[in-house]
Amino acid sequence: MGAREVIVEVCVDSLESAVAAEHGGAKRVELCGSLVEGGVTPSAGLIATTRQRISIGLHVMIRPRAGDFCHTSDEFEVMRRDVLMAKQLGADGVVFGILGEDANVDIERTRSLVNLAKPLQTTYHRAFDMSADLLLSLEHVGETGADRILTSGGAPTAIEGTATLRNLVEAARGRMIIMACGGIDHQNVQDVLEQTSVREIHVGLRTPIASPMRYRNNVISMGPFRGREYQRFVVLEENVAQLVRAAAALDI
């Protein structure tokens, strides 16, 4: 029996990083805006230009703001419109997550977005890890019809959450894909795959690069972290390729 392919998805917030992810051998990108805030919905311009430049899977984050995942009715309407925008701009999938005040999956509104997104694929993102009961949330996400769950097993990293991730894979029974995330790199990817039985992984692999600007005003800041204007994070092709090779080298 031959080895099963591992799907590598790279989280990106720029066209440059999306192109690097494809050239490095990734099968899919999750396109976000503002990853320094944990990721929000990217602009229409970024979605459209990324779709034009890459041929691998393009899944778009649908998140109207940073912070918790308990969304108001107005925010939900924004999410609905952003799902439609992603469809119109050629996305292959959308990524979202909604929790109630009790930190359980909002089944009704999640199902509504899943149905609105069809035929696009749908991923319930790491709001899952913030839920009150992961196994219960697995069943709730299953009721919505979503295709996959993105999770670290409720732990800071996938390595720390391996036991829970394996339990989630077993509990899913093929009804949905469990995609592992959280600190996965070329050094630990084989351990994650072996210990959890997941076949899809989600990685960041961001590298800080300095701004080329020669003049710098260090007196003021445009955000909460002084000097952040002169540094940004990108995905490098060679880092993606290194991880993809490591994952492919494991006979699973």
What are the tens digits of pLDDT across the range 157-167? 999 999 999 99
Residue 142 lies in a domain: yes
Residue 216 lies in a domain: yes
Residue 1 lies in a domain: no
In this prediction, residue 228 carries a pLDDT of 73
Mean pLDDT (whole number) for 89-101: 98
CA distance 22 to 147: 22
Instruction: Tell me the CB-side half-sphere exposure of residue 57, using CA atoms within 13 A.
Output: 21
Per-residue confidence band for 2, with pLDDT thresholds at 50, 70 and 90: very low
Residue 137 lies in a domain: yes
pTM for this entry: 0.94
CA–chain centroid gap for 122, Å, is 11
Residue 47 maps to which CATH number? 3.20.20.380
Residue 2 lies in a domain: no
Domains held by the chain: number? 1
Residue 215 lies in a domain: yes
Amino acid at 235: V
Kind plus residue range of the DSSP H or E element containing 239: helix 237-248
Q: Which residue has the higher pLDDT, 12 or 227?
A: 12
Q: Is the pLDDT of residue 154 over 80?
A: yes
Mean pLDDT (whole number) for 34-44: 93
Mean pLDDT (whole number) for 174-184: 97
- Provide the domain limits for residue 62: 7-248
Q: Is the pLDDT of residue 43 over 60?
A: yes
Q: Is the pLDDT of residue 59 over 80?
A: yes
**Residues with Cβ within 8 Å of residue 140, at least 6 apart in sequence:** 104, 105, 107
Mean pLDDT (whole number) for 88-105: 98
Residue 58 lies in a domain: yes
Q: In the block, which residue shows the tokens 């003021």?
A: 220
Q: Is the pLDDT of residue 252 over 70?
A: no
Mean pLDDT (whole number) for 228-235: 86
In this prediction, residue 219 carries a pLDDT of 80
CA distance 13 to 137: 28
Residue 202 lies in a domain: yes
From residue 227, how far is each of 17, 64, 109, 211, 224 by CA, in Å? Answer: 22, 26, 40, 10, 9
Q: Is the pLDDT of residue 92 over 80?
A: yes
Structure tokens at 107: 């089944």
Mean pLDDT (whole number) for 130-153: 98
